[in-house]
Structure 1
Amino acid sequence: MVELLAPAGSREALTAAVESGANAVYLAGSMFGARAYANNFDEDGLREAIRFAHLRGVLINVTVNTIVSDEELPAIKDYLRFLADAGADAILVQDLGVAKLAREIVPQLPLHASTQMTVHSLEGVLALQKLGFTRVVLSRELSLKEIRHICANCEVEIEVFMHGALCVCYSGQCLMSSMIGGRSGNRGRCAQPCRLPYTLVNEKGEDVLGDKAGSYLLSPRDLNTIDVIPELIDAGVASLKIEGRMKRPEYVATVVGTYRQAIDTYYAGAGYKVADEARDNLAQIFNRDFTTAYLLDRPGKNMMSDRRPNNRGLLIGRVTSYDWDRRVVTVKLSGRLALGDQVDFWVKVGGRVTATIYELTDAKGNSIAFGQAGDTVAFSIPSAVRDHDRVFKVYDAALMEKGKAMYTAGAPVRRIPIAVRVTAAIGKPLTIELDDGKGHIASAATAFIGEPARKRPLSEEVVRKQVERLGTSVYALSQLKVSIEGDVMVPMSEINEARRQAVEQLDALRLAEFAFPPRKFAALAEPRPLPETKAQLMAAVDTLEKMKAAIEGGADGILFGGESYEHRTIALTDYEAAWQLAKEAGIRIDFNLPRIIKQNHQKAVEKLLLAWQQTCRPAAVHVHNIGAAALVKRLTDLPVHADYSLIAYNKATLAFLKEYGVAEATLSPELSLKQVQALAKDAPLPLTCIVHGRLELMVSEYCVTGSFLGSVDKGACSQPCTKGHYALKDRKEALFPLVMDQYCHMHLLNSKSLSMLPHAMKFAPLSVSMRIEARAMAADEIRHIVKAYRKAMRLPADLDEAQQAWVKDQEGEEITRGHFFRGVL
């Protein structure tokens, strides 16, 4: 049976999840979880949470899915040991360095690959399978067809999201929060800039959408797969996951309970059908409107909540009149409305009006507790509304109370049925045997030896009364067999003590089921040879014209290809020509792979790799995720360079990459210069830093221009990206350029160019190469900035006034130092 996996950001949410029918729960401790702002669990809380869940047969997966700094490595080692000792059932990781430490320190703990690892192909899944991972959480950009293919061709468990908030960017590939506000999504502190308003503008700065779309162009709807549960299960998915560790426990209870019923209905085999009440409950508890994301098709603008980035509630009626004097509105209901509910009016002028229902009257003016669909009701509101304005219920008091009952009852809601057998006889202790039907049988006996009864002999009724007193234990009496020989007397206190001991023993037997035997891991890989030539100054380009400009400027290395920022295919002939140019110039050339390589594009990439090996061998191939690294290793003997999106943030990750056969690495742009210096001191492989250019803040399967201008939801996109250049403008008038590659992935670039020009001379002494991200630049700009870096590399570390003025003139105004001097939270 498929696992129903629920989120828990608090103790109350954990209880709600378990009592509502979750098979497993994922949660975080106070450190290293990708939802740092949730009300997470301290060590005592984690131990108690694990025991609570295990007694009920529920697994606890702990998220350790942030990237960690060198300073945090000692703490995470201790934390991993604690989790193993506390009895966690698995750890969910993003950082490959953390995975390496877990393999070494707590090999008994199953490893789950977080969706933050950006695993979106069978190649990536198989790579992690070889590394000893037992489960992989796939990227949310995959179709049912792709998921089915992966499940059918791997041995690890596959986990997919089935409900909750969506990221517009491929998870693990977003730098927007950290670059704009210093809060890193990769470190669990995402500020959600995707939920803010933006305007799509052309090269002239003109709004090209107007009222054709809302302002929230990067805000996706919420995922809802209630209608495709059979297809997901039939695809072979092992675990269906609900997103929501930041959500309140009532949300967890409602969503888990709804999907529990849906999954059970599917397995019952009487035909799968979703009740209207179930749909309404999912919408009512929280929705930004719903989508199935990419499971069934390419939804384009239909995946976006562009008019509102937060909960929109459930449409329950329209305004029929408004009494300006009394400030009372009359509403024709299309759904239920009751006292204690809260509604939003979507008014035509002035935004929204919110009201809580404290008093409610019917069409005749009589006070009522609730109204149903078809009724006309009236109630007070604070501001004016107009006829035909829509009314959305954003808080349902009854639904919230139902959800609250799942974690405030005090005693278990879902109990485990047990069969109890009691025997008593004169001259023998009374014995109690408990059987949970799962192979666990516990028994206990009284210290008291049964005596002849003088007044009231022990009866089955008395025994039942004592045995049924299971109180706050997780068990419920389902069957009782009592065997009493003669008129025997046993004190009630003795029976109660025996029952307590039997319950404790049954608890222990059930908890022992969750121990894991140690696992052995295979060796990682053979080391790959290092590139023959090392370049101090590299330039990343996607056309031959840009490459020539970089060479003319003085670059001593080129990173060529990968994605085209000009939405054109980069053919083998382009790579061959680039290789020839580099050979003639006597400089190093590396080839780049795309950041995202989905199944339908992998064959073309494989052909390129094989051709490169035969006709134009690069110094290294740059890879952006574990799947791409495995692909290069499987097909070629070319050196592998782990690029910045295969995040290297600490020395443990660098050690892993070295062991995996990687020859070089580009460090994460979220590192500070101080951290770079520390890593470079004893780095096990050559390092590179990106020092200049517009950094990619997002790479997305969703395309703003294709969705709202190209009608991608209606079939083939008209490709407006080939007819002009576009950007997103934020509330502060900052412009974030958009580029669409040959695979129709949207790349959102930073509004400012990273520049370390005044500090260019500081990298060579560290033996760290520099890279200029030049794909978004014109040829003249590339030539100019490469030449400037070549000169700056020869300047002293402390610049005089003239040198500072020169640097400022070369850089221009719209620049940023990125995280080199501020780091990230």
Structure 2
Amino acid sequence: MIHVIELLAPVGSKEALAAAVESGADAVYLGGKMFGARHYAPNFTDEELAAAVRFAHMRGVMVYITVNTLTDDSELPALADYLRHLYQLGVDAIIVQDLGVAVIARDIVPALPLHASTQMTVHNLAGVQFLAAMGFTRVVLARELTLTDIEYICKNSSVAIETFIHGALCISYSGQCLMSSMIGGRSGNRGRCAQPCRLPYTLVGADGNDLLQAAGAGEYLLSPKDFNTIEVLPDLMQAGVTSFKIEGRMKRPEYVAVVVDAYRRALDSYLADRNNYVVSTQDRKDLAQIFNRDFTTAHLYGKNGRNMMSDRRPNNRGVRVGRVLSYQAAGKITVIKLDEPLAVGDIIEFWVKVGGRVNVTVQTMTVNGAAVTEAPANTAVSIPVSSPVRDNDRVFKVFDAKLMERARTYFSRAEAVRRIPVDIVVAAEEGKPMVITVRDADGFSGRAATVFIAEKARKRPLTPASVAKQMERLGTTVFRLNQLECQLQGEVMVPLSEMNDARRRAIEQLEAAGLARFARPALPNGSSIAALLPPLQTTGRANKPELVVNVDAVDKLQAAVDNGADIVMFGGECLGKHALSAEDYHNAADYARRHNRKIIFNTPRLVHQNQLAELKASAVLFNRLKPYAVSAGNIGTLQLLRELVDAPLHGDYPLNIYNSVTAGYLSARGLASLTLSPELSFAQVEAITARKLAPTECLVHGYVTLMISEYCLPGSFLGDTAGQCKQACLRGQYWLKDRMNELFPITTDQFCRMHVLNAKELSMLPHVPRLMRTGLSRLRFEAKYNTVREIEHITRMYRELLDQGENHPLLLQDKVSGVEHGHITRGHFFRGVL
């Protein structure tokens, strides 16, 4: 299969844009000041966006704008204006996470292509099909997919498929991480991730002791290595990937230049000769030198466990350049035996056995007593250091002055590097204006004539050489002269100023012709945001929501039913790794029905291609048992369940339902009920429930999952020395302890995925009366991590509070908080998220 291969580069600043374009990117992605998932990058003002689009388009480079955050109802008018602005700028696509944003874009700017962000957690073909039907033209797959799954999706997809190929990795599935928002109020889904995965943690057991002290593990237990696929690019190309995406909008422009440059050469090598793919040693070194936490191919070839993690260092580790031979304390001089070249201006770091790291900028160095500015490999060099180091300490270069200087040439020079060759025809004859025609390889052209009428030359007639001298003066334009044809009739003269002016105008015409290919028709008269919002409720909903309890075992279901749950959710991911049998589902459904309770069967929020048979078998069982509803937490699962089950469908909170347009879209698509995002505040919830929608619910109690990951920490570090799991998860309970001594429960499900739960239990017990006034149809207790006894107690408390409302004795005496333990959170109901 032949593909149009696109190298897609990250851009967080004007300098990074120049670096990306000039080092060989086919397309760039960048963000404005709003609605982008890298809020802390410099990003672009509206004026800078316009200039960026022109800069890229002049060089034939596509521009995609990130509009990939969850958007609140109050932000939707500004979003609509922003989308119109992007359309008028001529951007080539927008990258979207929020289904509501996609709905608005389809209506307001229907000709603007939609790309699905990796934040949509698309990990199977069904998810791609869901988005294709919605109008998306490209899908960025989740980074947890194997090469086999990527190939299957590519070969069966009707839209383009994009994958990441280099850069930082998230340890949690993107779009499914609540850790930053829950512990710090900064939502990764809103572009403000605080990167808690790069912080130090300790793995502890029930006794509180460090379980990894003897395992030689570092502190950064959630910090992955950087993704690097340059050696395996042919596999991704043959799989059918269309766009190859580099991560790094927060990175400096030098990083962008070096990484894009290396991958440009790699892609071109493959396209030139598929049987002789070559990656140079220098490109490998440059990629490591510019930034690395060590490298991994992540999940492309299966789970890597501990080998995927950079547990000893969460930031750039540089490239090893040698070891310490000796240290002279008197003059603070160390001698290093080099494995790699070293030069003045480089920054090196000593990994000291005692005391951590010693960082030194090389200002002077000597070899055999003679001062040098650079030294090759296999040389012993002496340099002054600021702190003591020890013999045999490893030395790493974390800044290579020469590499950085070379990288800067891609964006620091006024003249363009990647010039477009043009052919110029100059025609002149006595009595007529000189005509200059400029044409590029794509067939675009510009033409201009001099005002001056060519005269017979008295002294110096025009020659091909003198004309060429003026035509080559293309200055800082993006063009360079490829071929010149001079059609000079007789001995004629035209002033140089006239020639230069005509050349300039012809070039301007050529530029306009090239940019015209990116032009779009005028905007249609799209609907207003008010028209896209679901209509307001004309009558209030019942103020007594149903109580929902979500469990993963029959005895827990019985405890919930016996203590007042109106609805029980059952199944999906089972924490503790046990899997439910068909008999468990039968027993659960039978017990709920005998007690006149509704039952919703859960499905896993993640269903990879190799797990579809299991989902289909579950669907057959569900159709026999006829539950009240079946729940889906991912658009791919939702797409599949529409075809597989007869029961009504429930949309769960991993769908990230954050605004009324998303809720309205899913309601209109037939979902019978919806769980709103746990990142919403009271006010935001009330704005959504004021609309005519399917019944809505919120999580009000339980240990909420903050991360879900294919990487299992206990299995990776507590298995055997070969990295085999040995099912450590079945041998005890585990917690991550952070710097504040908070304990985050770690558990695994039947698919060997790790769940990191919140250290604090969500509890809204004192605020049930207010929840009853929000218009919510249901309140949900996430009880999978709770014991049967806890489920009995908590369910009974909510039942009583819902039944008695403000008249409950504990509320009347202001003593509800007295029945809570001391380690609870109110989530985002009062504080919202940034």
The reply to whether TM is greater than 0.5 is yes
Per-residue CA distance 1:711-766 (angstroms, 9 max, x = gap): 59755x31111121111111111110011000001000000000000011222333
Contact 1:753 1:814 in 2 (8 A): yes
Q: Which residue of 2 aligns with 1:818?
A: 827
Between 733-742 and 764-773, report the one with greater CA deviation.
764-773
Q: Which residue of 2 aligns with 1:17?
A: 20
Q: Which residue of 1 aligns with 2:537?
A: none
Q: 1:129 is aligned with what amino acid? A: A
Contact 2:332 2:385 in 1 (8 A): yes
Q: Which residue of 2 aligns with 1:528?
A: none
How far apart in 1 are the matches of 2:80 and 2:721? 47
Q: Which residue of 2 aligns with 1:436?
A: 440
Instruction: Please report how far the alpha carbon of residue 571 of structure 1 lies from its aligned counterpart in structure 2 after TM superposition.
Output: 2.2
Q: Which residue of 1 aligns with 2:555?
A: 545
How far apart in 2 are the matches of 1:3 and 1:682? 42
Q: Does 1:354 align with 2:352?
A: no
Instruction: Please report how far the alpha carbon of residue 683 of structure 1 lies from its aligned counterpart in structure 2 after TM superposition.
Output: 3.9
2:656 corresponds to which of 642, 647, 656: 647
Per-residue CA distance 1:502-543 (angstroms, 9 max, x = gap): 11111111111223579999xx9xxxxxxxxx9610000000
1:764 corresponds to which of 766, 772, 775: 772
Structure 1 outlier segments of 4+, above 3 Å: 515-521, 711-715, 794-806
Q: 2:428 is aligned with what amino acid? A: A
How do 1:269-284 residues align onto structure 2 when only pairs under 5 Å count?
A: 269=273, 271-284=276-289
Q: Which residue of 2 aligns with 1:180?
A: 183
Contact 2:708 2:756 in 1 (8 A): yes
Give the secondary structure class of the aligned counterpart of 2:795.
helix
Instruction: Please report how far the alpha carbon of residue 660 of structure 1 lies from its aligned counterpart in structure 2 after TM superposition.
Output: 2.0
Give the secondary structure class of the aligned counterpart of 2:671.
coil
Per-residue CA distance 1:362-409 (angstroms, 9 max, x = gap): 1x1101111111000011110000000000000000000111110011
How far apart in 2 are the matches of 1:616 and 1:711? 43
How far apart in 2 are the matches of 1:370 and 1:2? 40
Q: Which residue of 1 aligns with 2:270?
A: 266
How far apart in 1 are the matches of 2:476 and 2:324? 49
Contact 1:538 1:559 in 2 (8 A): yes
Between 657-666 and 119-128, report the one with greater CA deviation.
657-666
Q: Does 1:43 align with 2:29?
A: no
Q: 1:552 is aligned with what amino acid? A: D
Q: 1:698 is aligned with what amino acid? A: M
Which consecutive unaligned segments of at least 5 residues does structure 2 have?
A: 527-531, 533-543
How far apart in 1 are the matches of 2:26 and 2:721? 38
1:578 corresponds to which of 567, 588, 594: 588
Q: Which residue of 2 aligns with 1:748?
A: 756
1:58 corresponds to which of 61, 65, 77: 61
Q: 1:388 is aligned with what amino acid? A: N
1:555 corresponds to which of 565, 590, 613: 565
How do 1:409-448 residues align onto structure 2 when only pairs under 5 Å count?
A: 409-448=413-452
Q: Which residue of 2 aligns with 1:634?
A: 643
How far apart in 2 are the matches of 1:543 and 1:297? 30
Q: 1:382 is aligned with what amino acid? A: S
Q: Which residue of 2 aligns with 1:707?
A: 716
How far apart in 1 are the matches of 2:813 and 2:376? 72
Q: Which residue of 1 aligns with 2:700?
A: 691
Which consecutive unaligned segments of at least 5 residues does structure 1 have?
A: 525-533
1:70 corresponds to which of 55, 68, 73: 73
Q: Which residue of 1 aligns with 2:305?
A: 300
1:617 corresponds to which of 595, 620, 626: 626
Contact 2:717 2:723 in 1 (8 A): no
How far apart in 2 are the matches of 1:252 and 1:372? 27
How far apart in 2 are the matches of 1:641 and 1:495? 71
How far apart in 2 are the matches of 1:713 and 1:134? 43
How far apart in 2 are the matches of 1:595 and 1:434? 57
How far apart in 2 are the matches of 1:638 and 1:230? 44
Per-residue CA distance 1:680-720 (angstroms, 9 max, x = gap): 112422110000000000000100011111359755x3111
TM-score (norm 2): 0.95
Indicate how the Cα distance of structure 1 residues 804 and 693 shifts in structure 2: closer, same or farther if over 3 A, else same: farther
Q: 1:604 is aligned with what amino acid? A: E
Aligned residues: 811
Per-residue CA distance 1:286-343 (angstroms, 9 max, x = gap): 0000000011121100000000001000000000000101001100000011000000
2:154 corresponds to which of 151, 155, 163: 151
Per-residue CA distance 1:204-244 (angstroms, 9 max, x = gap): 11111104211100000000001001111111000010000
Instruction: Please report how far the alpha carbon of residue 168 of structure 1 lies from its aligned counterpart in structure 2 after TM superposition.
Output: 0.1
How far apart in 2 are the matches of 1:483 and 1:711? 79
Q: Does 1:724 align with 2:732?
A: yes
How far apart in 2 are the matches of 1:713 and 1:450? 83
Contact 2:180 2:187 in 1 (8 A): yes
Instruction: Please report how far the alpha carbon of residue 347 of structure 1 lies from its aligned counterpart in structure 2 after TM superposition.
Output: 0.5
* Percent of aligned pairs with the same amino acid: 53
Give the secondary structure class of the aligned counterpart of 1:442.
strand
Give the secondary structure class of the aligned counterpart of 1:361.
strand
Contact 2:144 2:173 in 1 (8 A): yes
How far apart in 2 are the matches of 1:481 and 1:802? 91
Give the secondary structure class of the aligned counterpart of 1:685.
coil
Q: Does 1:483 align with 2:487?
A: yes
Contact 1:761 1:795 in 2 (8 A): no
Give the secondary structure class of the aligned counterpart of 2:423.
strand
How far apart in 2 are the matches of 1:637 and 1:87? 45
Contact 2:800 2:808 in 1 (8 A): no
Give the secondary structure class of the aligned counterpart of 2:396.
strand
Contact 1:453 1:489 in 2 (8 A): yes
Give the secondary structure class of the aligned counterpart of 1:354.
strand
Per-residue CA distance 1:153-192 (angstroms, 9 max, x = gap): 0111100000000000000000000000000000000000
How far apart in 2 are the matches of 1:574 and 1:680? 35
How far apart in 1 are the matches of 2:415 and 2:343? 29
Q: Which residue of 2 aligns with 1:529?
A: none
Q: 2:827 is aligned with what amino acid? A: G
Instruction: Please report how far the alpha carbon of residue 603 of structure 1 lies from its aligned counterpart in structure 2 after TM superposition.
Output: 1.1
TM-score (norm 1): 0.96
Q: Which residue of 1 aligns with 2:164?
A: 161
Give the secondary structure class of the aligned counterpart of 2:706.
strand
Contact 1:568 1:742 in 2 (8 A): yes
Q: Does 1:791 align with 2:800?
A: yes
Contact 1:651 1:683 in 2 (8 A): no
2:747 corresponds to which of 723, 739, 750: 739
RMSD of aligned C-alpha atoms?
A: 1.7
Indicate how the Cα distance of structure 1 residues 639 and 517 shifts in structure 2: closer, same or farther if over 3 A, else same: farther
Contact 1:322 1:329 in 2 (8 A): yes
Indicate how the Cα distance of structure 1 residues 628 and 323 shifts in structure 2: closer, same or farther if over 3 A, else same: same
Q: 2:683 is aligned with what amino acid? A: K
